[in-house]
Amino acid sequence: MYDKIIDFIRTLYPEQSSIPLHAPIFCGNEKKYIIDCIDSTFVSSVGTYVDRFEEMICEITGPGFAVATVNGSCALHVTLTLAGVQPDDEVITQPLSFVATANAISYCGAKPIFLDVEREALGLDPVALGNFLKSNARIRDGNCYNSVTGNRIAACVPMHTFGHPCRIDEIAEICNHYHIALVEDSAESLGSLYKGKHTGTFGLFGIYSFNGNKTVTCGGGGVIVTNDEALAKKVKHITTTAKVSHQYEYVHDMTGYNYRLPNLNAALACAQLEQLNTFVENKRELASHYQKFFETLQIPFIKEPEHARSNYWLNAIILADRKTRDEFLKTTNEAGVMTRPVWRLLNKLEMYKDCQTDALKNAKWLEDRIVNIPSSVRM
């Protein structure tokens, strides 16, 4: 069976002897814009391409304001800070995610609470969230407190896993009821919609990543979106070292961060964003081929959830058990077809092993079985 899968993947990428998991494609105005940026000499965090990048993000996703950052982790750190997360607070998130989600919480001096995911959509389960808060949350003075630890639960960070939207509207409703700030980790889901609305736009903030392996990339890069103009101004200020505007003096009015995206990266990002719709359609077509093929083998393929339109950033299948998964990973990678397991659950990592969790039944089940398969845009 493994040989049959390898042969099929090779038919999808016939010109590649070694097939990566997700490689960037540069077939638009990337070189033109980068050369133009270099010729302008504005290659740092000020320039027309940074402005244009932020405008394009607003046009694509819908919110009124966007602020470019050097990467998605920085974007998440800043949004949590401005959402009011303080040292010794707690932030609810999911264990099935890239480590950056939990790291950003730690940067604020806060501690993650890991709750279970849905088996189908792979994102934070609103039922698990509601059950946890019903059993453990106490509202006092307009804040939510954890009855087990006594700490304030300041925020919730769901993640749209592999670009598949979670039931974010239900999560938003629960967070609003319990006075918990909602920050969407949409790092993987640029171009994904839930009930006709772009992911990243349901909470106080949303963030996206433009890392080298994302649907569109500028090498690194991230962006923060919000509909709150005052918060957007604070984001831009704090990510620009909190420098007070002045023609020549250097005055900073608070602790800030050097988190702004360079114009050089933004030039690449603008060219990539021009192709976002084409890339997403290409990836959705690839997912359709995979779905039909794996149906013939009776291997579950992760499909976009109900009411969602996914960008299918990374395609994934679910194998029978951990032993089968490990055999598949070894065979495919030795054959030059890159596959990988899902991330190790965050609550199992040394620095997060003492964090509060629920039973994590679905997350544990998925960790043993999920495999990502090649998902690059096909030329």
Rounded Cα–Cα distance for residues 271 and 216 (Å): 9
For 195-221, the pLDDT digits (tens) are: 999 999 999 999 999 999 999 999 999
Q: What pTM value is reported for the model?
A: 0.97
pLDDT-derived band at 301, boundaries 50, 70, 90: very high
pLDDT-derived band at 379, boundaries 50, 70, 90: confident
For 310-334, the pLDDT digits (tens) are: 999 999 999 999 999 999 999 999 9
> Half-sphere exposure of 256 toward its Cβ, with a 13 Å CA cutoff?
18
Mean pLDDT of 131-157: 98
Domains of the chain with CATH codes: 2-21+276-373 (3.90.1150.10), 30-273 (3.40.640.10)
For 10-55, the pLDDT digits (tens) are: 999 998 899 999 999 999 999 999 999 999 999 998 899 999 999 9
Confidence at residue 197, expressed as pLDDT on a 0 to 100 scale: 98
Residues 6+ apart with CB under 8 A from 40: 47, 48, 263
Mean pLDDT of 250-275: 97
Token pair of 353 as six digits: 């092993």
For 268-282, the pLDDT digits (tens) are: 999 999 999 999 999
Token pair of 346 as six digits: 């965050």
Please give the C-alpha separations between residue 329 and each of 22, 209, 320, 334, in angstroms, as whole numbers.
Answer: 16, 26, 13, 8
